[in-house]
Amino acid sequence: MNHLKPNDFGPVIEADRAHVWHHMMQHKPLESADPRIIVEGRGLHVWDAAGRRYLDALSGGVWTVNVGYGRTSIADAVRDQLVTMNYFAQSAGSIPAALFAEALVEKMPGLSRVYFNNSGSEANEKVFKMVRQIAQRHHGGRKWKILYRERDYHGTTIGALASSGQAERAAMYGPYPDGFVMVPHCLEYRRQWEVENYGERAADAIEEVILREGPDTIGLLCLEPLTAGGGVIVPPEGYWQRVQEICRKYDILLHIDEVVCGLGRIGTWFGYQSFGIQPDFVTMAKGVASGYAAISCTVTTDAVFDLFKDDTDPMAHFRDISTFGGCTAGPAAALENMRIIEDEKLLDNCLTMGERLMERLEGLKSKHEVVGDVRGRGLFAGIELVADRTTKEPANEKLVQKVVSEANARGVIIGMTNRSIPGLNNTLCLAPALIAKSDDIDTIADAIDEALAATFGK
Ligand code: PMP
184-204 residue pLDDT tens: 999 999 999 999 999 999 999
Q: Which atom of ligand 1 is nearest to the CA of 124?
A: 10
Output the pLDDT for position 130: 98
Whether the CB-CB separation of 419 and 425 falls below 8 Å is answered with yes
Spatial strand order in the sheet of 218-223:
113-117, 296-300, 281-284, 253-257, 218-223, 145-149, 180-183
Whether the CB-CB separation of 296 and 117 falls below 8 Å is answered with yes
In angstroms, rounded to a whole number, what is the distance separating the alpha carbons of residues 386 and 327?
46
Backbone phi, psi, residue 98, to 5°: -65, -45
Query: Residues spanned by CATH 3.90.1150.10 within the chain?
Result: 6-65+346-456
**Mean pLDDT, range 302-318, rounded to an integer:** 97
What digits encode the pLDDT tens for the residues 49-81?
A: 999 999 999 999 999 999 999 999 999 999 999
**Residue 434, Cα to own-chain centre: how many angstroms?**
15
- Model confidence at 105, pLDDT cuts 50, 70, 90, reads very high
Statement: residue 330 has pLDDT above 80 = yes
- Model confidence at 7, pLDDT cuts 50, 70, 90, reads low
Whether the CB-CB separation of 412 and 447 falls below 8 Å is answered with yes
Of 39, 44, 35, the closest CA to residue 13 belongs to 35
Statement: residue 2 has pLDDT above 80 = no
In angstroms, rounded to a whole number, what is the distance separating the alpha carbons of residues 282 and 104?
11
**Mean pLDDT, range 90-119, rounded to an integer:** 98
Ligand 1 centre to CA of 115 (Å) is 17
**Residue 456, Cα to own-chain centre: how many angstroms?**
30
What digits encode the pLDDT tens for the residues 132-171?
A: 999 999 999 999 999 999 999 999 999 999 999 999 999 9
**Mean pLDDT, range 86-108, rounded to an integer:** 97
Name every protein residue with a CB atom under 6 angstroms from any ligand 1 atom.
Answer: 62, 119-121, 124, 153-156, 224, 228-229, 257, 259-260, 285
What single-letter DSSP state applies at residue 269?
A: S
- Model confidence at 346, pLDDT cuts 50, 70, 90, reads very high
Query: ipTM value of the model?
Result: 0.99
- Model confidence at 218, pLDDT cuts 50, 70, 90, reads very high
Atom 12 of ligand 1, residue of closest alpha carbon: 120
Whether the CB-CB separation of 222 and 124 falls below 8 Å is answered with yes
pTM surpassing 0.90?
Answer: yes
Spatial strand order in the sheet of 380-385:
371-377, 380-385, 427-430, 415-416
Ligand 1 centre to CA of 121 (Å) is 6
Output the pLDDT for position 420: 74
- Model confidence at 422, pLDDT cuts 50, 70, 90, reads confident
In angstroms, rounded to a whole number, what is the distance separating the alpha carbons of residues 163 and 435?
33
Ligand 1 centre to CA of 120 (Å) is 5
Ligand 1 centre to CA of 359 (Å) is 28
**Mean pLDDT, range 311-333, rounded to an integer:** 97
Ligand 1 centre to CA of 119 (Å) is 7
**Spelled out in words, what is the top-level CATH class assigned to the domain 73-343?**
alpha beta
Residue 446 neighbours by CB distance under 10 Å: 14
CA distances from 20 to 49, 312, 317, 385 (A): 16, 50, 40, 33
- Which of 58, 121, 157 is the best mutation target for the ligand 1 pocket, counting ligand atoms within 8 Å of the beta carbon and taking the most? 121
Whether the CB-CB separation of 227 and 233 falls below 8 Å is answered with yes
Output the pLDDT for position 4: 55
Q: Give the SS3 label for residue 315.
A: coil
Query: Residues spanned by CATH 3.40.640.10 within the chain?
Result: 73-343
Share of the chain above pLDDT 70, in %: 98
Output the pLDDT for position 421: 80
Q: Considering the domain 6-65+346-456 in this protein, what is its CATH number?
A: 3.90.1150.10
**Mean pLDDT, range 24-34, rounded to an integer:** 91
**Mean pLDDT, range 350-372, rounded to an integer:** 97
Output the pLDDT for position 5: 59
- Residue that wins the pLDDT comparison between 6 and 317: 317
H and E: helices and strands count for the chain: 13, 15
Of 361, 395, 366, 363, the closest CA to residue 381 belongs to 361
Statement: residue 3 has pLDDT above 80 = no
What digits encode the pLDDT tens for the residues 258-284?
A: 999 999 999 999 999 999 999 999 999
In angstroms, rounded to a whole number, what is the distance separating the alpha carbons of residues 252 and 405?
44
Ligand 1 centre to CA of 283 (Å) is 10
Whether the CB-CB separation of 359 and 444 falls below 8 Å is answered with no
Question: How does the average pLDDT of the chain come out, rounded?
Answer: 96
